[in-house]
Amino acid sequence: MRKNKKKQRTKNKPNTVQQSAPNDRRAFLRKLRNGTIALSLVGAGGAFAAVNVKCSLEEGDLTKVGNGMPTIVQIHDPQCPRCQALQKETRKALGNFDDDDLQYLVANIRSTDGQAFANKYHVPHITILLFDGKGELTKILRGNNTRDFLRDEFAAHLKASARS
């Protein structure tokens, strides 16, 4: 009977070689999964940043004023909370318009081009300038405004620009 007990004991003991292999495989698969997730997140973040940089560069191109499309230019200081609030409201108001109807540009007064643009029209930050397709200034909106007010102003600007 002793032999039977020994056999039973050896049967119950785990084989260390067999136990380590599944753990290594599981650890590898776990690392592979985590690495894939991390790579996806980093890639998505990079794509988001690239789109934002591209939009910022396009919005900062003030030479587009007068290119045949009605234009909205915000005189903007990126460090000003009121300017940021106006920009947020402006973007939401522009959500109702097609990109082919109005173009939105930003004159960053922290840059030399943006400061020169603001000085040319004698306006401070927290201001929106409305231009027709020929580049003629048609209206100045000063201070913070709600998206509803801005939406109505942009619609009226678009109608007036279509008539001229």
Tens digit of each residue's pLDDT (9 = 90 or more) over 57-80: 568 899 999 899 999 999 999 999
Residues 72 and 51 in one domain: no
Beta-carbon contacts of 140 under 8 Å, excluding residues fewer than 6 positions away, are 121, 123, 127, 128, 129, 130
Residues 51 and 71 in one domain: no
Residues 89 and 155 in one domain: yes
- pLDDT greater than 90 at residue 144: yes
Residues 125 and 149 in one domain: yes
Residues 31 and 65 in one domain: no
Task: Find the domain containing 67 and state its range.
Answer: 61-163
17, 37, 56 — which closes off a domain? 56
- pLDDT greater than 80 at residue 17: no
DSSP 68: S
If one counts the domains in the chain, the total is: 2
Residues 48 and 65 in one domain: no
| CATH label of the domain that carries residue 90 | 3.40.30.10
Per-residue model confidence (pLDDT) at position 54: 41
pTM for this model (two decimals): 0.65
Share of the chain above pLDDT 70, in %: 76
Per-residue model confidence (pLDDT) at position 150: 94
Per-residue model confidence (pLDDT) at position 9: 57
Mean pLDDT score, 120-143? 93
